C-alpha cells in the first residue's frame, strides 16, 4: 500500500482536482463524511461531540464531520483555535452552515470552550494538519497537555495535531487520539516514532482520489510502502505439494561465539519454523563442538566457513553472537565475496565493519540483507543514535545505497530500504518482544524465505511482518511479558496461518490499518 509524504499528498489532491474537475469543497465534504462515518461505526455511544477546528482545511474537514452528525440526540459544539475572521474561507463557510443548524462556536481558551471540552463524550481533532513545521505555540502545547490528561475519546482528522506528517516528530507534544482517520493515502508521520504513539487506531478512508496507477509517470515518486496484510501474504514463499526438505532451502549459520552460543540456534530455529528444510551451524574445529538443544539443527565443523558450509547452503546467515575480536576478517570477506548465494548479516558484523559501511558491499553483486538495530547502525556509520532515531527512513535508505544491501532498521516501526529507493514500514509487533534473541529469530526468518526462493526485498519485508505478527499472536494468547525468543519462533507457523487466512480488501472500503493491542 502506497504511503505518502504531505507534499506528495498535496500533489495527488491537486492532480485529482485537475483530472476530475473536483472542487476542493467536494474533497472536503468526502473527508468530513468519512470522519463522521468512523465516529458512528466505532463510537456509537458518543452524543456530546465537540469539533476542535483550526483555521485551515483540517478545521474545515472537522466541521463538515460535525455537520454530518447533526440529528438525533447528538449535542454538538465547535471550539475554534482562532477567531472566525482569521480563519480560511472553508472554515468560515462551514461555520455559517453549522449556525443555520443551531450549532454555535466559542474561542479556544475561553471558559465556555473548556466547559464544552470537559463535558464532551468525543472530540474531533481538526486543529492542525500534516503540513506542520516548527514548534507549537505555547498556548497549543498547554491545550494539548490539558486535553491529553482528560483521556477523552479523540478522533483526529488525517493526523493527530502536533505530529509532523513526514517525519513523525512532535514539537514537543501532540494531541493523543483514540483513532486517526487518514484520508486518501497513509502518511509517513503516522507510522514513524514518536508520532505513531499519538495515533491510536489508524483508519484509512477513501475520498475519491484516483488510484495511483492513474497518476502521470514522474508526478509523484511512489517508492514508499506501508505493508498491508494482503500484500505481506502475497510475498510469502509458496509451498508446493511435491516439496521436500532439499527443495525447501538449506540455511547455513555462522554465529554464536562463547557466551552467546544460543544466537546461532535461534537463527536456525527461526529458519526451520519459517519453512526451511535444513539448518546447519558452522562451528570452528578449534572450538569445542556444540550440541544444539533442538535435534533438528545440524552442526558442521571445519577450518573455515567455506570448507564447512558453503557447498551445502542455499543462503548464509552471519553475525549473531559474534565476538569481533575472535572473528577472522578474511573469512568474513570470503562469505561476502565468494559465497554464491544470498547473505543475511546481523549483530557482530557491524562491529567488524565499524565506520566502514561501504566495505560491506559484496564484490560478486549477490544479495545482501543487513538487519541492524539503532545501536548497531550507530557503530556501523559512526553517527549518534539520536540522529538515527530522528530520521530512520533517511538513514536506512542512505545505508542501503552505501552498502548495496537491503537494509532493515529495527525499531517499534521497523523500516526496510533498498538501494533503488524503495522503502517500507512494518506495522506489526508487540511489547512482549522486548527480550534478548528476538533479532536472531528475525535473521532466521529472512534467511529462510531467501532459501525458499524469494528475492531479498520481498524476504525482508515479509520476514519483518511475520516476525512482528508472531509477537502479536503470543500477545493474544495472553503472553504480555516474559516471551522468550525461542518461544516466539514456535508462534511463527500460527502467524503464517493467520496471514494466509487474510482476505483481500475491496477498493473503496474504509480500512483499519492499525489497531493497538489490548
Q: Is 189 annotated as a binding residue?
A: no
Q: Is 410 annotated as a binding residue?
A: yes
476 is in an annotated binding site: no
> Do the annotations mark residue 413 as ligand-binding?
yes
**Greatest Cα pair distance in the chain:** 86
Residue among 229, 234, 177, 184 nearest 200 (CA): 177
According to the annotation, is 158 in a ligand binding site? yes
129 assigned ligand-binding residue = yes
Establish whether 361 is an annotated binding residue. no
425 phi and psi angles, rounded to 5 deg: -120, 135
Residue 215's φ and ψ, nearest 5 degrees, are -70, 140
**Beta strands of 371-483 (E only): which ranges?**
406-409, 415-417, 423-425
Is 453 marked as binding a ligand? no
Q: Is 412 annotated as a binding residue?
A: yes
Strands 250-254 and 122-126: unpaired
Residue with cell 535508505: 397
Q: Measure the N-to-C terminal CA separation of the chain; round to a whole number of Å.
A: 25
Angle, CA of 164, 14 and 192, to the nearest 5°: 20
Residue 131 known to bind ligand = yes
Residue with cell 466505532: 42
Q: Is 105 annotated as a binding residue?
A: no
> DSSP alpha helices (H): ranges in 223-280?
229-235, 262-273
What is the Cα–Cα distance from 143 to 97, expressed in whole angstroms? 27
Coil, strand, or helix at residue 408?
Answer: strand
373 marked ligand binding residue: yes
- The CA radius of gyration of the chain, in Å to the nearest whole number, is 26
Give the integer Cα–Cα distance in Å for 272 and 252.
Answer: 11
Confirm whether residue 148 is marked as ligand binding: no
165 is in an annotated binding site: no
User: What contacts 58, CB < 8 A, 6 or more positions away?
Assistant: 126, 127, 128, 129, 157, 158, 161
Between CA 46 and CA 445 the distance in angstroms is 44
Residue 113 to residues 78, 159, 266, 375, Cα–Cα distance (Å) = 8, 22, 56, 46
Q: Is 240 annotated as a binding residue?
A: no
Residue 389, SS3 per DSSP = helix
Distance, CA of 29 to CA of 208 (rounded, Å): 11
184 is in an annotated binding site: no
User: Facing residues of 153 across strands?
Assistant: 122
Helix (H) or strand (E) holding 333: helix 329-338
To the question of whether residue 135 is assigned a binding role by annotation, the answer is yes
H or E, element range at 150: helix 138-150
Residue 511 in 3-state DSSP? strand
Residue 228 cell numbers, joined:
498491508
Q: Which positions make up the binding site for AMP? A: 410-414, 439
Residues flagged as binding site for K(+): 58, 125, 161
Write out the binding residues for (6S)-NADPHX: 57-61, 129-135, 158, 321, 373, 440
Binding-site positions read 57-61, 125, 129-135, 158, 161, 321, 373, 410-414, 439-440
Amino acid at each position: 500500500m502506497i504511503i505518502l509524504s504531505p507534499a506528495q499528498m498535496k500533489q495527488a489532491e491537486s492532480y485529482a482536482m485537475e483530472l476530475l474537475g473536483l472542487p476542493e469543497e467536494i474533497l472536503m465534504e468526502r473527508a468530513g463524511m468519512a470522519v463522521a462515518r468512523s465516529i458512528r461505526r466505532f463510537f456509537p455511544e458518543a452524543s456530546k461531540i465537540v469539533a476542535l477546528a483550526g483555521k485551515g482545511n483540517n478545521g474545515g474537514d472537522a466541521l463538515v464531520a460535525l455537520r454530518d452528525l447533526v440529528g438525533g440526540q447528538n449535542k454538538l459544539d465547535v471550539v475554534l483555535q482562532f477567531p472566525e475572521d482569521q480563519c480560511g474561507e472553508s472554515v468560515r463557510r462551514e461555520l455559517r452552515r453549522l449556525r443555520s443548524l443551531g450549532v454555535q462556536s466559542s474561542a479556544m481558551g475561553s471558559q465556555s470552550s473548556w466547559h464544552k471540552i470537559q463535558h464532551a463524550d468525543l472530540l474531533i481533532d481538526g486543529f492542525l494538519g500534516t503540513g506542520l513545521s516548527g514548534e507549537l505555540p505555547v498556548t497549543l502545547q498547554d491545550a494539548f497537555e490539558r486535553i491529553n490528561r482528560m483521556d477523552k475519546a479523540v478522533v483526529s482528522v488525517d493526523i493527530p495535531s502536533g505530529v509532523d506528517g513526514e517525519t513523525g516528530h512532535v514539537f514537543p507534544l501532540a494531541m493523543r487520539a483514540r483513532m486517526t482517520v487518514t484520508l486518501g493515502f497513509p502518511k509517513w508521520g503516522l507510522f514513524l516514532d514518536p508520532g505513531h504513539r499519538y495515533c491510536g487506531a489508524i483508519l484509512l478512508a477513501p475520498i475519491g482520489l484516483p488510484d495511483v496507477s492513474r497518476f502521470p509517470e514522474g508526478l509523484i515518486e511512489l517508492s514508499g510502502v506501508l505493508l498491508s496484510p494482503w500484500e505481506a501474504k502475497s510475498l510469502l514463499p509458496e509451498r508446493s505439494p511435491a516439496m521436500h526438505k532439499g527443495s525447501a532451502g538449506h540455511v547455513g549459520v555462522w554465529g554464536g561465539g562463547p557466551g552467546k552460543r544460543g544466537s546461532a540456534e535461534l537463527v536456525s530455529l527461526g529458519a526451520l519454523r519459517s519453512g526451511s528444510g535444513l539448518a546447519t551451524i558452522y562451528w570452528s574445529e578449534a572450538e569445542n563442538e556444540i550440541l544444539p538443544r533442538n535435534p533438528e539443527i545440524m552442526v558442521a565443523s571445519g577450518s573455515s566457513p567455506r570448507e564447512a558450509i558453503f557447498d551445502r547452503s542455499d543462503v548464509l546467515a552471519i553475525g549473531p553472537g559474534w565476538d569481533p575480536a575472535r572473528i577472522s576478517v578474511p573469512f568474513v570477506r570470503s562469505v561476502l565475496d565468494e559465497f554464491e548465494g544470498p547473505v543475511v548479516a546481523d549483530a557482530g558484523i557491524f562491529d567488524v565493519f565499524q565506520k566502514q559501511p561501504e566495505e560491506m558491499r559484496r564484490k560478486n553483486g549477490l544479495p545482501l540483507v543487513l538487519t541492524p538495530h539503532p545501536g548497531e547502525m550507530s557503530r556501523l556509520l559512526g553517527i549518534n543514535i539520536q540522529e538515527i532515531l530522528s530520521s530512520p527512513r533517511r538513514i536506512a535508505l542512505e545505508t542501503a545505497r552505501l552498502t548495496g544491501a537491503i537494509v532493515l532498521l529495527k525499531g517499534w516501526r521497523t523500516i526496510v530500504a533498498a538501494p533503488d529507493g524503495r522503502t517500507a514500514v512494518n506495522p506489526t509487533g508487540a511489547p512482549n518482544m522486548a527480550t534478548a534473541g528476538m533479532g536472531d529469530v528475525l535473521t532466521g526468518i529472512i534467511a529462510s524465505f531467501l532459501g525458499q526462493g524469494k528475492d531479498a526485498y520481498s524476504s525482508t519485508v515479509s520476514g519483518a511482518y511475520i516476525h512482528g505478527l508472531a509477537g502479536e499472536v503470543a500477545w493474544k494468547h495472553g503472553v504480555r511479558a516474559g516471551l522468550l525468543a525461542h518461544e516466539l519462533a514456535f508462534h511463527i507457523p500460527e502467524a503464517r496461518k493467520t496471514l494466509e487466512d487474510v482476505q483481500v480488501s475491496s477498493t473503496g472500503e474504509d480500512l483499519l490499518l492499525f489497531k493497538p493491542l489490548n
